[in-house]
């Protein structure tokens, strides 16, 4: 991306998806936005007398026709235009938005008309970059714009809008304020030393590091792990011996008949996965081939190998047990392969078959639960149990809630939670190292001069998160990941 730090060029891009739609938007930003509008747009109702240019008013909508400029202008489309005078716009520059019909040929021709008037094609993320450079948003908020555009679930949207509203920035600024206060204490002692006060200054700084700075940064770093779940969702793998109802539960959670269901054991020979939005959490649901001790043929053996691989990739495992039958050697074999690497939920399926069972179903489920719990506890597996009927749908809602609970969904759902991006997390780790080094130096009795160096390093890293004192190459890398037109 070319330098924008001192650039006055007017930029333009199509701001809507490159496909047929009811409306397409061409966005223009820069000092010539108003003049370009006056050259290519004519309102249906004349706003001035004679043939001169009409005067655009800020934040007014005008209806008319867009023309390709030339000696004899050629009409492109009917449209409405919206002009925003600086600094009251997204980029804090003069901004023009042309809303035309959304066919790709129409929006492309409107953009060509704008470029013919002297604007240049915007680079990816250049509008948001100008908003950042012109002080409308900080860098953490700019990154949140990209997250908001790519949000696929309600939870992702909430996390992005939280950062866009400044919650991440406020968290970083609060940490920075504590760091500046600690640095001021150190520098005051260095500039105006008094007998006996250096020790007191060191204790004050140590207390600030221990009670505020280090714990607050550690909490944000931990929140990054939450971000992984928000961004990528959780991978929930359904396993069980053949014919326990894995595919039926898979379809019930999805709410559609995605996979073939048959009373014949071994119907599923491969893993099948689908994404589903469960109350805002992106869940990749994986149906696997039944696992038993010995395969009946080569295809089933291959399917079982895939199932075992999926178990290793899972964030949550749903183990299906046929509650209408005693535990089999195949059930025990599967249970023996589980480890404590992720949450495990044992799902007692086919509860509808236990209506007239003897012994009574409650007693039978209690006995199954006790035996399975004994096996899994020895293997270090923390397990929950749910009775369901995938056939009737009873208990399926409880399975969905269990997936949310195991993913700490209630914690992630907090719209105020500041969740760092990978770039922000990496800088937080470096800042944490600097502040921990300052604390170590104080404990070992080093002079305040070297402590001040580490405090300054930490503050500089916090500034990078907010976009202060960043070089242009770093900014170019960040904004190059945006779509064109944003």
Contact 14, 484 (CB under 8 A): yes
The closest alpha carbon to 12, from 31, 32, 24, 26, belongs to: 26
Instruction: Summarize pLDDT for 201-234 with one digit per residue, the tens.
Output: 778 888 888 888 999 999 888 877 766 677 778 8
In a domain? residue 412:
no
**Does 442 or 413 have the greater pLDDT score?**
442
Encoding tokens for residue 55? 């005067």
Confidence of residue 475 (pLDDT cuts 50, 70, 90): confident
Which helix (H) or strand (E) segment holds residue 255: the answer is: none
Same domain, 294 and 216: no
Same domain, 274 and 242: yes
In a domain? residue 478:
no
In a domain? residue 331:
yes
Q: How many CB atoms lie within 10 A of CB 416?
A: 10
Indicate whether 73 pLDDT > 80. Answer: yes
Same domain, 346 and 445: no
**Which CATH number fits the domain that encloses residue 353?**
3.40.50.300
Of the residues 387, 406, 425, the one at which a domain ends:
406
In a domain? residue 283:
yes
Encoding tokens for residue 400? 């969905």
pTM: 0.69
In a domain? residue 87:
yes
What domain count does the chain have?
A: 3
Q: Is 158 helix (H, G, I), strand (E, B) or coil?
A: helix
**Spatial CB neighbours of 393, under 8 Å, sequence gap ≥ 6:** 252
| Residues across the chain | 486
Q: Could you tell me the residue range of the domain that residue 65 belongs to?
A: 11-137
The closest alpha carbon to 76, from 46, 50, 39, 21, belongs to: 39
The whole-chain average pLDDT of the chain stands at 83
Beta partners for residue 243, in sequence order = none
Q: How many CB atoms lie within 10 A of CB 387?
A: 21
User: How far apart (Å, rounded) are the C-alpha atoms in residues 351 and 191?
Assistant: 77
User: How far apart (Å, rounded) are the C-alpha atoms in residues 174 and 2?
Assistant: 34
Of the residues 106, 137, 168, the one at which a domain ends:
137
User: How far apart (Å, rounded) are the C-alpha atoms in residues 188 and 145?
Assistant: 40
| Helices 167-191, 154-164: inter-axial angle, 10-degree rounding | 40
Same domain, 23 and 128: yes
**Which CATH number fits the domain that encloses residue 49?**
3.30.1360.120
User: How far apart (Å, rounded) are the C-alpha atoms in residues 81 and 83?
Assistant: 7
Same domain, 444 and 396: no
Same domain, 52 and 87: yes
Instruction: Summarize pLDDT for 34-55 with one digit per residue, the tens.
Output: 999 999 999 987 655 444 456 7
Instruction: Summarize pLDDT for 97-146 with one digit per residue, the tens.
Output: 999 998 899 999 999 999 999 999 999 889 999 999 999 998 889 888 88
Contact 269, 289 (CB under 8 A): yes
Same domain, 129 and 198: no
Same domain, 29 and 46: yes
**Which CATH number fits the domain that encloses residue 183?**
1.20.120.430
In a domain? residue 113:
yes
Same domain, 188 and 131: no
DSSP letter assigned to residue 135? T
Same domain, 317 and 288: yes
Same domain, 213 and 241: no
In a domain? residue 167:
yes
Same domain, 397 and 250: yes
pLDDT value, residue 5: 43
Mean predicted confidence (pLDDT) in 66-75: 89
Confidence of residue 92 (pLDDT cuts 50, 70, 90): very high
Instruction: Summarize pLDDT for 324-369 with one digit per residue, the tens.
Output: 888 888 888 888 888 777 889 999 999 888 766 555 677 888 888 9
pLDDT value, residue 341: 77
Instruction: Summarize pLDDT for 270-311 with one digit per residue, the tens.
Output: 578 888 888 878 899 998 876 654 544 445 455 556 667 877
Indicate whether 268 pLDDT > 50. Answer: no
pLDDT value, residue 107: 93
In a domain? residue 124:
yes
């Amino acid at each position: 991306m070319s330098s924008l730090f001192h650039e006055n060029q007017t930029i333009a891009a199509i701001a809507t998806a490159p496909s047929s739609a009811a409306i397409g938007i061409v966005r223009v930003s820069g000092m010539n936005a108003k003049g370009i509008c006056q050259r290519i747009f004519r309102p249906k109702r004349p706003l001035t007398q004679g043939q001169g240019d009409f005067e655009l008013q800020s934040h007014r909508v005008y209806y008319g026709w867009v023309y390709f400029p030339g000696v004899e202008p050629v009409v492109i489309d009917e449209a409405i235009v919206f002009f925003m005078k600086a600094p009251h716009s997204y980029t804090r520059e003069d901004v023009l938005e042309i809303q035309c019909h959304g066919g790709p040929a129409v929006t492309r021709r409107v953009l060509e008309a704008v470029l013919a008037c002297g604007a240049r094609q915007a680079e990816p993320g250049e509008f948001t970059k100008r908003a950042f450079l012109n002080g409308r948003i900080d860098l953490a908020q700019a990154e949140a714009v990209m997250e908001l555009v790519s949000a696929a679930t309600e939870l992702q949207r909430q996390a992005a809008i939280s950062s866009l509203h400044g919650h991440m920035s406020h968290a970083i600024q609060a940490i920075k304020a504590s760091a500046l206060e600690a640095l001021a204490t150190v520098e005051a002692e260095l500039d105006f030393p008094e007998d006996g006060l250096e020790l007191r200054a060191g204790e004050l700084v140590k207390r600030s590091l221990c009670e505020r700075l280090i714990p607050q940064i550690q909490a944000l770093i931990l929140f990054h792990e939450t971000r992984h779940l928000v961004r990528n969702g959780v991978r929930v793998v359904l396993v069980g011996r053949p014919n326990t109802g894995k595919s039926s539960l898979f379809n019930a959670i999805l709410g559609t008949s995605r996979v073939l269901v048959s009373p014949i054991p071994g119907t599923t020979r491969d893993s099948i996965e689908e994404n589903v939005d469960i109350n805002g959490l992106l869940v990749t649901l994986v149906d696997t081939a039944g696992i038993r001790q010995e395969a009946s043929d080569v295809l089933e053996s291959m399917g079982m190998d895939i199932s075992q691989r999926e178990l290793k990739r899972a964030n949550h495992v749903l183990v299906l047990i046929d509650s209408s039958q005693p535990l089999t050697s195949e059930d025990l074999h599967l249970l023996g392969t589980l480890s404590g690497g992720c949450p495990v939920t044992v799902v007692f399926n086919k509860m509808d078959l236990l209506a007239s069972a003897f012994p009574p179903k409650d007693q039978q489920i209690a006995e199954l639960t006790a035996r399975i719990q004994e096996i899994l506890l020895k293997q270090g597996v923390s397990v929950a149990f749910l009775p369901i009927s995938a056939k009737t749908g009873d208990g399926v809602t409880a399975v969905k809630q269990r997936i949310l609970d195991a993913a700490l969904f209630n914690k992630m759902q907090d719209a105020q939670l500041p969740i760092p991006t990978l770039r922000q997390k990496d800088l937080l780790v470096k800042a944490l190292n600097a502040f921990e080094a300052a604390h170590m130096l104080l404990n070992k009795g080093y002079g305040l001069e070297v402590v001040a160096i580490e405090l300054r390093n930490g503050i500089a890293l916090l500034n990078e998160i907010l976009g202060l004192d960043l070089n242009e190459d770093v900014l170019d890398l960040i904004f190059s990941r945006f779509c064109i037109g944003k």
